[in-house]
Structure 1
Amino acid sequence: MSYVFISLENIDHASYKWIDARFSLKDPVEGKRKYEEAHVKNAVHWDLNDDLSNLHDSGGRQPLPQKEALVELFERSGLALDDQIIVYDDGGSPFATRAWWILQYAGFKQAYILLEGFEELKAAGIPIDSEKPQIKRTIVTPNWNESIYASRQYVEETVDGKRDNTLIDARAAIRYRGETEPLDRIAGHIPGALNFDWEQLKENGVYRLDNQLQEQLGQLVGDKQEVTVYCGSGVTATPLYAMLAHHGYENIRLYVGSYSDWVSKVDAPVGVIKPQ
């Protein structure tokens, strides 16, 4: 295993920089409010909409910020590439995994996702306060890892058969099959994609690390040379990316634009699975 996920029992609080990634898709200000009320001592807050996406850009519902904006985020957060970093949210959510993936993309090699959520952190006695930390700004020169990023062109080349790359759709099966689509222009999936609902990665709101899940991932990925994961907006695919990485799979990419970017092009082909 590559130990992407880390548990409270393995943590010395003072050895890590902390990032609070709490967010709610139903209430976009909830994460900020929770952070202001209480957070891990000295943790910075990274907001999905404000920090981990560029909502003014094209490329799906949650486009990746420009690299300059990400560098600014790292520097004002007081990070260095060799820091040990823990990202947490409410547990079993896709927000810490999105933040973690961005750290991987930028070349932070010692970043981890906390399995437990904030309430478990509190109960475990990790130092908590409501003070805004005084962060000493740093200078960060990322080592961008383009090998984990899938552009639209990369996915198009996959669909056209020009790349030996397997697409995996992390949305619910009902959306993958094209039976319903609550958010995007047209229902269905990127042609040729397999399906693995990211919710299967959890049990009772906590990410699973059991042997059965490892077997399921093995059946899904097998001996495929390259895998690209996507979802609707590039957020809920990150738990699947992180879990594959945790179990030692390499050559994984995230299509950040995901299905919302794919169907933004009017003539983009879409696959559906009709009921038998």
Structure 2
Amino acid sequence: MKFIIDKEWLFNQLHESSIRIVDCRFSLADSEKGNREYGYSHLPGAVFFDLEKDLSGSVGDHGGRHPLPDIDEFVQKLERSGIDETITVVVYDQGDGAFAARFWWMLQYLGHEKVFVLDGGFNSWKEADYPVSTEIPVYEPAEFKININREIIGNVDNVRAVVNGQLAPAILIDSREERRYLGLEEPIDKKAGRIPGAINKPWIEGLHAGCYKPVEAQKQRFSEIPLDSQLFVYCGSGVTAAPNFLALKEAGFEKVKLYLGSFSDWISYQENKIE
């Protein structure tokens, strides 16, 4: 796989100075849980990035529940962690892949191509009885050169154009579980339903037992979608759409954009229709 590495490979590379490990464990039910778990134990040499404090910005009237953070502040933390565009970055979360994929996508957006998700995350690492640490590492500051990749991000205007048939052929992919897609329940956002015309590909179906399914299985998930399609992938707030974005890239789709604001941004505009 192109963007996913296994624990065996990382174990053999642990002491390479050209590799930086990032811990992105997080719980939507307990926003401090990830940081606490990092303090208890983490992969040797790993630095911690928090979904809400580091990977998201302030919530406004529009932009969704997890908008991008201030890019300069995010880059400064990368630099303090010794990360520049030459360092190979391996990111993990507890094992479901969503928070690690968010960090992976953000570095891709900044133009960093040598970033990978650890398959199975922390849980798989622990099950293998690989080493962990409580030491908080300190690295020599680096200088990160930004090269924004606007080809992988979508906004509300792009999605409106898809809905209105002005950006064809393009496909909207809703990454949420089916009941939210159908509007049968909505535990988080103020309105239930989906963006008109979207198809449903739940992000969790791209994983099995905390690991990403093989490339051939990902291709089968999206087999009815032409490979040359322009795709816009979304979820509730742009986080769990990230593993679907990653799975699509693994399956060979090149023209994929993440609608960062996702459904929570879409419904913040009264004029936007909902199915």
Equivalent in 63, 67, 73 of residue 71 of structure 2: 67
Q: Counterpart of 1:83 in structure 2: which amino acid? A: I
Equivalent in 24, 38, 52 of residue 41 of structure 2: 38
Equivalent in 170, 188, 202 of residue 197 of structure 1: 202
1:215 aligns with: 220
Q: CA deviation at 1:233?
A: 0.7
Equivalent in 262, 269, 274 of residue 266 of structure 2: 262
Instruction: Judge conservation of contact 2:230–2:255 (CA < 8 Å) in 1.
Output: yes
Work out the CA distance in 2 between the residues paired with 1:69 and 1:55: 13
Q: CA deviation at 1:34?
A: 0.6
Q: Counterpart of 1:130 in structure 2: which amino acid? A: T
Q: CA deviation at 1:223?
A: 3.5
Instruction: Judge conservation of contact 2:67–2:260 (CA < 8 Å) in 1.
Output: yes
Report the aligned-residue RMSD. Answer: 1.6
Instruction: Judge conservation of contact 1:4–1:243 (CA < 8 Å) in 2.
Output: no
Instruction: Judge conservation of contact 2:236–2:263 (CA < 8 Å) in 1.
Output: yes
Instruction: Judge conservation of contact 1:7–1:115 (CA < 8 Å) in 2.
Output: yes
Output one character per residue of 1:171-222: Cα deviation in whole Å (capped at 9) or x when no partner. Answer: 0111111112122121111111111011111222332116333212222x22
Note the residue ranges of structure 1 that are not aligned, 5 or more in a row.
272-276
Work out the CA distance in 2 between the residues paired with 1:137 and 1:268: 45
Matched, 1:168 2:167: no
Kindly report which structure 2 residues correspond to 1:134-145, keeping only aligned pairs within 5 A, or say none: 134-145=138-149
Output one character per residue of 1:19-42: Cα deviation in whole Å (capped at 9) or x when no partner. Answer: 000011111101000111111122
Kindly report which structure 2 residues correspond to 1:6-21, keeping only aligned pairs within 5 A, or say none: 6-11=5-10, 12-15=13-16, 16-21=19-24
SS in 2 for 1:260: helix
The TM-score normalised by the length of structure 1 is 0.92
Q: CA deviation at 1:123?
A: 4.7
Work out the CA distance in 1 between the residues paired with 2:259 and 2:247: 16
1:111 aligns with: 115
Q: CA deviation at 1:54?
A: 0.8
Q: CA deviation at 1:126?
A: 4.4
Work out the CA distance in 2 between the residues paired with 1:103 and 1:182: 30
Q: Counterpart of 1:65 in structure 2: which amino acid? A: P
Work out the CA distance in 2 between the residues paired with 1:224 and 1:187: 31
Instruction: Judge conservation of contact 2:229–2:255 (CA < 8 Å) in 1.
Output: yes
2:29 aligns with: 26
Q: CA deviation at 1:110?
A: 0.8
Q: CA deviation at 1:236?
A: 0.5
Q: CA deviation at 1:127?
A: 4.0
SS in 2 for 1:163: coil
Output one character per residue of 1:7-56: Cα deviation in whole Å (capped at 9) or x when no partner. Answer: 11223222321000001111110100011111112211010000000134
Matched, 1:120 2:124: yes
Work out the CA distance in 2 between the residues paired with 1:152 and 1:130: 42
Matched, 1:47 2:53: no
1:274 aligns with: none
SS in 2 for 1:39: coil
Instruction: Judge conservation of contact 1:185–1:264 (CA < 8 Å) in 2.
Output: no
Instruction: Judge conservation of contact 1:202–1:208 (CA < 8 Å) in 2.
Output: yes
Aligned length, in residue pairs? 269
2:3 aligns with: 4
Work out the CA distance in 1 between the residues paired with 2:206 and 2:124: 19
Work out the CA distance in 1 between the residues paired with 2:188 and 2:125: 34
